[in-house]
Structure 1
């Protein structure tokens, strides 16, 4: 009980930040103008610094993504050429003995190199959680995985259904029949809706599917050390290059059983069928995810789709299922980090996962669907209290998941664990407090303070001239001028990010997905919708989610609507 009381203040950080941002707009200039000017200077300076840093990190991520894509394409061309050479050798094998002797060695070398590429030591288990998703969308998502070279020998699909969905059995049986010969195993799980203590959502579904799917794989004789679990969304288009890069990183890592493998997210499947504001929201969302991946300490967060070993999942007790774990992707990284005393790290995989924009049957209904999705996403603000509580709070009990099978994890912690806890806490605060504060302060702080301190008419004066620090103090007058200059500079890092993204989007569409249609100069008009997108899908939903932390409620299990026409 005492520990719970000591931890409770961490629950107030998010709602206080949300309420404080709104209240400061009118009350700051009226009650504490001097302090408010200093606060705005510090806030805007820190914000500008972080945005410039994110721009450089995003550029690094984009460069590595393009490099990986082009190397993959070059390797594919080389393999085709080698295959042609092998075929030519077989056609001409009745030539002279001298030629047979020389080409047989070339044939053996080429076959060996191709075999190393085709064969895989790993078993990849793809968890596809879904609830009320179109069957055509699920079929298309799984079909893209089935097209990988090693799907029949090394891939396991775990179709994570929700028992509460009407006719989920029929959908699962239809997909099982369709893919019965496409994978090593096709496992179907149905997550019950009435498990005590669980909050309904992707996290609880994934946890149920992972536990039961892993148990079935072990029953089939699969070594848990070979299993890499990939959690996806129902609309995740996972290219084969991603799987190969995960295997490469896993093989080269010093201790791969403490890694979560995180790719960038990309929205290109139906991006031209949705409103510009929806499109721009997802573009900026994916850019933020990409920039976070280029982190030298490995303290980053996966989003939507990611991979980890079965060994690590078992060590930390699989996925959490309570209401504080609603943001299952970030929460799983945080859980692994704290449960391994800072040994767990995020390993970036610079291969984009293509997702579907939220889409409904009309312009305004699509906007509303994106707003509903944004509110659900920002419920992940619960991770802020979870992070602060585990980093600086008092633990109520010792979690059973903290007991590991490995001696290394039970004896040693990361050498800079306290520093890492501070860094990861700052990153989580940035992820959740910037959205809930920046919209109010960036758009309204300076204009509203200008209006309050310098009203257009003396009859509407809120502050007497002698109480106006900008008029009575040269120091505060200079600070105020600096604040105004910084606010002019604030959008420029975003403009730079979008410029880098435009080039990246074309490369990914044309060179990885081989699309004939991609973004053009006409899409520059999308940027006009940025203010609407920022307020409707960032500031307001994050503020609602933060204030709701004052009275935790059980949210209804709602998924974002997606249209999908199966060709």
Structure 2
């Protein structure tokens, strides 16, 4: 909980009172306000909570079996997710290897999508579909996927990476931590998608009428701006990539037991137990093998993912704008035949891309959405909560009028909540990298009538599995 929230401690204590019997252990920590070098937001919240997790578990000889899960408070994870993560984690450890894996589920907006404005729903539909596109059922050593809001990392990997950054450059907390772990392991991070979807809520203010309609769109734009502000991570990745060879030279001169072998990414912490320091030093020494190279196929895939996330939306927008302006100019200014041919060709390519993307959503995403709804409904029935949550299932019909309108609005929603916020972000970065962190408005849920009302916003939560 945050110190800035006057009700934070009360809410935490109420949650523990309500649900302590459902967990092996429940604790809370209060994140102090105004710590030096911290920017308000999810990353600094998670960083503080993770430090408390380290304090609790690092003195435990079995500390390497602790898994840390980061999630937004409106996220609904199935029990299958944790079972699958633990199974993969134990398999890695039984092979005599330290688990340097980031586990991540796909996301789906299947809770209140039927209650929000259509453009808001379409924007989140595209967001979920884009994240799903880089998933694979059988990940390899070259797999690169970017987590969205929810992921799990082993505690040794958290220590090796040096925890979560707290500055304004880490506003894209999920991507930033993935990049930090990737470069801390020198590109040897294993990224394993988990086939158990994380259910999310669409942004909504809950206000009625035309004012509510406008407020919902404004809230979604603010969320889009915060997401696109994370394009700072491209610069972060480039800087870390450029330092690969420099870090390797420093590591070549170090030995596993020396104080310098912990490297810049780990850092020697006098508060850490000796067995933890030795473990981290041995792991980082092993990660700096003779095959470490700056130019690898996996690094190329990584930067292609960053291009898709931070460059492609604005490039597409600017190309469309420039093409429209060029076509509207009088003849003497548009007499270049070769340029006209190129513009015609690219317009056909864009039309084909839109057609293929629509096919992807109609055929694959709709089936995925139905499977997610079915899995969550079954689990809620087993838990005896289905009746209470019956109105929190956003069903879709593949070729209904509403779904077809959703597909036709892809370009509009993508521009309003993707390209335009990205343009604002990259122009703003000429002056500042700081953004006022606004928590996205999500639907309110009464957990226990008359006892506790908790807004399901995008604040963070950390769970540990031992």
TM-score range, shorter-chain basis? Answer: 0.7 to 0.9
What is the aligned length?
391
Could you say which residue in structure 2 is the equivalent of 1:358?
203
Cα shift at 1:439: 2.3
CA contact (8 A) 2:113 2:394 kept: no
Find the residue that maps to 1:550 and give its secondary structure: coil
Q: Decide which of 280, 305, 315 is 1:405's aligned counterpart.
A: 280
Matched, 1:199 2:39: yes
416, 436, 441: which is aligned to 1:556? 436
Aligned equivalent of 2:15, options 175, 181, 188: 175
Give the superposed CA RMSD. Answer: 2.4
Instruction: Tell which structure's C-alpha radius of gyration is larger.
Output: 1
Which structure dedicates a bigger proportion of its chain to helix? 1
Q: How does 1:314-333 map to 2 (within 5 A)?
A: 314-333=159-178
1:37-59 Cα deviation digits (max 9, x unpaired): xxxxxxxxxxxxxxxxxxxxxxx
Deviations 1:126-165 (A, max 9, x none): xxxxxxxxxxxxxxxxxxxxxxxxxxxxxxxxxxx11111
Question: Aligned ranges for residues 127-276 of structure 1 at < 5 Å?
Answer: 161-218=1-58, 221=60, 223-253=62-92, 255=97, 257-276=99-118
Task: Provide the C-alpha distance between the structure 2 equivalents of 1:247 and 1:366, rounded to a whole number of angstroms.
Answer: 38
Partner of 2:462: none
Question: How far apart are the structure 2 equivalents of 1:527 and 1:429?
Answer: 24
Alpha-carbon contact 1:191-1:208 (below 8 Å) kept: yes
How far apart, in 1, do the equivalents of 2:287 and 2:98 lie? 16
Cα offsets for 1:269-327 (capped at 9, x unmatched):
11111011111111111111111222641222111000011111112111111111111
Unmatched tracts of structure 1, length 5 or more: 1-160, 456-460
**Corresponding residue to 2:313 among 435, 445, 468:** 435
CA contact (8 A) 1:343 1:413 kept: no
Structure 2 unmatched runs, 5+: 251-262, 269-278, 379-389, 448-466
User: Take 1:510 and 1:496, find their aligned partners in 2: how far apart are those partners?
Assistant: 22
1:310 and 1:192 map into 2 onto residues whose CA distance is 23
1:112-134 Cα offsets, whole Å, 9 max, x none, are xxxxxxxxxxxxxxxxxxxxxxx
**Secondary structure of 1:558 counterpart:** coil
Question: How far 1:476 moved relative to its partner?
Answer: 5.0
The 5 Å alignment of 1:413-432 reads: 413=288, 415=291, 417-418=293-294, 419=296, 420-432=298-310
Distance 1:534 1:181, change over 3 A: same
What residue is the counterpart of 1:449 in the other structure? 326
* Distance of 1:313 and 1:325 partners within structure 2: 15
Gap change, CA 1:302 and 1:517, over 3 Å in 2: closer
> Paired residue for 2:131?
289
Distance 1:511 1:232, change over 3 A: closer
Q: 1:517 to 1:490 in 2, by over 3 A?
A: closer
Q: CA deviation at 1:566?
A: 2.9
Q: Does 1:536 align with 2:416?
A: yes
CA distance in 2, matches of 1:535, 1:202: 26
Query: Secondary structure in 1 aligned to 2:153?
Result: strand
Superposition pairs for residues 59-98 of structure 1, below 5 Å?
none
